[in-house]
Structure 1
Amino acid sequence: MTSPRHSRRGLVVPFAIVGVLLAIWTGWWFWLADQIETRLAAQEQALRDDGWRIAHQPVSVGGWPFRARVSFPQAVIVAPSGQGVSAPELVAEANAWNPGHWVVIAPDGLTLARAGKGEIDIGGDGARMSVNRLRDRFPDLRAELIRPTFTPRPGAEPFPIASAEHVQFEMRPHLTNGVAATDELDVLFRLVEARGRPGGPVEGAARSGRLSVEVEATIEKASRLSGVDSAGVFANWTAAGGRFTSVKGRLRAGESSALISSEALSARGDGRLEGQLALTAERPGEAMAGLAGSRSGAVNRIAAAGAAAAASAQGDRPMDLVLRFRDGRTWLGPFALAPAPRLF
């Protein structure tokens, strides 16, 4: 009596299902890759039409099956203002099932172009940026540099920072009662353990120590952060009455530290900040004395020495101070310490 034959259909069906699903997924992936290339070309052309300089070697798209990976060799991205970046290679990656969230890395470092000031090479252990919710009016953005170094190229103006442990910038829509505000953005900037260049204002203020900064604020009229003229996005925003509000943060320079806050800061027509910052400072005299001894031409060393003497008279007690940005200068009481920070 012969034994019954067992059907092999039960073995074949799962493999067939997997094969069909793989074919469907592969079709989706190649469609996505084609969409990425098409939209990228259109976006680049739109930027060029607006005066941007965009250049790179032929782009390659890979990452099958689960990722979309776009490589831009010899990338150059420069805004009409002259500010921009270049890199031996920029690599953008996203999960194939979530093409609205991208991570961009510069594996071989970056070069920062500063309008009228020359270029700075940025090295270190990593440079990356992530962008999420691209379909929203304002996406979430996060950029960071891990243990960066900053080296001016020959002929470039000095850069105040030589290196740092970490630099971070975040931007996301401002929430009011859990709902994204119509035209406001929250921003955060963090600089950790920065070392100033020899003889510069950062090294002076930190007394050869290190500078750490953490500041957060809300940007009003964020939709006006656009523009194609040589002054860049902040000129258009300033002309429309844009302001930084709810500014708060903490500074530490060597042995000196301060908590800072401001209801609002704006900018003049020349890009210099206007407004005032309230500080609760500990041992500010040391930072002022360090500024007075720096070799930076931007620092009014006589005024810094006067401010140092006035602060030292208070001893080590915490002091409530006010920094005022007016007339293009940074004032501490009657002392004009340096030019006001410039946005553009």
Structure 2
Amino acid sequence: MTHNDAAPSRKAPAKARRSRLFAPFILAAILAGGWCYGWFWLRGQAEQRMDAQAADLEARGYDLSWSARTFSGFPFRMNIQLADVRVAEPTGWALRVPQLKGEAAVYDLTHWVLVAPGGVVLTRPESGDVTITGEALRASISHVTEYPPRISVEGAKLTFVPAPGAKPFTLVSADRMQLHVRGGGPDDQGAVFFKADGAKTAFPGLLGRIAQDKTASMILETRLSHVSYLRGRNWAAAVKRWGEAGGQITVQQSQILAGDAEGKAKSGVLGVDSDGRVTGLLSVAIKERADPSQPIRTPEQALAAAAQAMGQEPVIEADLRFDNGRTYLGAIDTGPAPTVY
């Protein structure tokens, strides 16, 4: 064999090495193309699901609408921006959001974080609109296969302004607020946790007399039984169905602090009557220091003044009873019972 005959066999490994050099780039291009296709496919799926959900709600008398919708976030996130969002149910409750931004990881479209930079408008049937704005107002939704899904709402420096002619709202402002809803618990249980700090309130009845015009802090933690029955063509129908199934609210923690005044529910089980008013019994402790320079206006202030005169801590421990649309502290009628719908 001559030198020239052997030359090609010595060069073959070099060509093989050059082909292997391009293999990672070819593989990366294939993966990038697949990822691009997958992202746009997921965007299409998100659009279809939103449209299908809106159509389903409309068929049941609800409304889920928006004036504009855009997607972004390629390649690793799925971002959505909606304009003029409206969510409404048949009895008149509605939520309008001028601008809503949502974000989810592209590999988990069941967990969304939502932000409403322009605030929201809450419509209450027969009570009017309330505009809610603040430095921050955001929410997260996850575990959408559970009922109810996991929902968390948080806000900072919030103000609640009723529209002209509308009825007052129970909250006027809050430095910080959080609301958490959880489902999927054992024995068909759900949970609700609410907390507000630095709040100005406009409560009626007993709570209004505790808070007055002071800055208040509030906590409410409850568990709901038979939560899967809390469904219906609207909110009122859902609550009625839940109540007929034996649904109850177990209060685990409830407290309002406003200056020297304090109201605390230590235990209790509540329900809802056919008119949407709360029923049941709570064991409560109320502390309210009477101002000797001010006239006594309420039974609670009279009891507190009597306790102070005897050198005792002005704490009233009694049963708070919601019955027949009224609220009773022991034997004292303190005003209407709270309404759920």
Question: Could you tell which deviates more after superposition, 83-92 or 239-248?
Answer: 239-248
- CA distance, structure 1, for counterparts of residue 217 and residue 210 of structure 2: 11
TM-score, normalization by structure 1:
0.85
Matches within 5 A, 1:83-102: 83-102=93-112
State the AA in 1 paired with 2:266: S
- 2:172–2:202 Cα contact (<8 Å) kept: yes
SS at match of 2:35: helix
How far the C-alpha of 1:259 sits from its partner, in A, is 2.9
* Residue aligning to 1:240: 245
2:302 matched to which residue of 1?
A: 309
Counterpart position of 2:144: 134
Moved more, 189-198 or 258-267: 189-198
Q: Does 1:103 align with 2:113?
A: yes
The code of the aligned residue for 1:264 comes to V
- Offset from partner CA, 1:59-110 (integer Å, 9 cap, x none): 2222111111122211111111211200111222210011111112212110
Counterpart residue number, 1:320: 317
TM-score for both structures, normalised by structure 2: 0.86
Offset of residue 202 of structure 1 = 6.7
The answer to whether the 8 A contact 1:147-1:164 is kept is: yes
**How far off is 1:33 after superposition?**
0.6
- After the TM superposition, list the runs of 4 or more consecutive aligned residues in structure 1 that deviate by more than 4 angstroms: 4-11, 197-204
The CA deviation at 1:119 is: 0.2
2:134–2:158 contact (8 Å) kept in structure 1:
yes
Q: Return the alpha-carbon distance in structure 1 between the equivalents of residues 166 and 250 of structure 2.
A: 33
Change (3 A) 1:285 1:326: farther
Residue 208 in structure 1 maps to residue 208 in structure 2? no
Tell me what 1:74 maps to. Answer: 84
Residue of structure 2 in register with 1:187 after alignment: 192
Alignment equivalent of 1:125, drawn from 132, 135, 143: 135
User: Could you say what secondary structure the match of 2:108 adopts?
Assistant: coil
CA contact (8 A) 1:82 1:230 kept: no
Q: Give the SS at the match of 2:68.
A: coil
308 and 30 in structure 1: CA distance in 2 versus 1, 3 angstrom threshold: same
Indicate the percent of aligned positions where both proteins have the same amino acid. Answer: 29
CA shift for structure 1 position 199: 11
Higher helix fraction: Structure 1 or Structure 2?
A: 2
Task: Decide which of 279, 292, 316 is 1:274's aligned counterpart.
Answer: 279
Pair 1:284 & 2:277 matched: no
For 2:40, the equivalent position in structure 1 comes to 30
Contact 1:206 1:255 in 2 (8 A): no
- Tell me what 1:41 maps to: 51
Separation in 2 of the partners of 1:108 and 1:233? 30
Of residues 261-270 and 237-246 in structure 1, the stretch that sits farther from structure 2 once superposed is 237-246
Residue type at the aligned position of 2:288: P
User: 1:318: Cα distance to partner?
Assistant: 3.8
Distance 1:318 1:230, change over 3 A: closer
Is the radius of gyration larger for structure 1 or structure 2?
A: 2
Select between 315-324 and 214-223 the one with higher mean Cα deviation: 315-324
1:336 aligned residue = 333
Pick one of 250, 263, 268 that aligns with 1:263. 268
**Shift of the alpha carbon at 1:239?**
3.0
Distance 2:212 2:275 in 1: 31
* Alpha-carbon separation, structure 2, partners of 1:201 and 1:249: 14
2:229 is matched with 224
Task: Report if the CA contact (8 A) 2:289-2:314 is conserved.
Answer: no
- Residues in 2 aligned to 1:198 and 1:78: alpha-carbon distance in whole angstroms: 25
CA distance in 2, matches of 1:318, 1:199: 21
| Unaligned ranges ≥5, structure 1 | 175-179, 294-301
8 Å CA contact 1:191–1:214 kept in 2: the answer is yes
Give the conservation status (yes or no) of the 8 Å contact 2:88–2:94: yes
Q: Distance in 1 between matches of 2:290 and 2:79?
A: 50
Q: Using a 3 Å threshold, how does the CA distance of structure 1 residues 42 and 199 change in structure 2: closer, same or farther?
A: closer
RMSD after superposition: 2.8
Offset, 1:338? 1.6
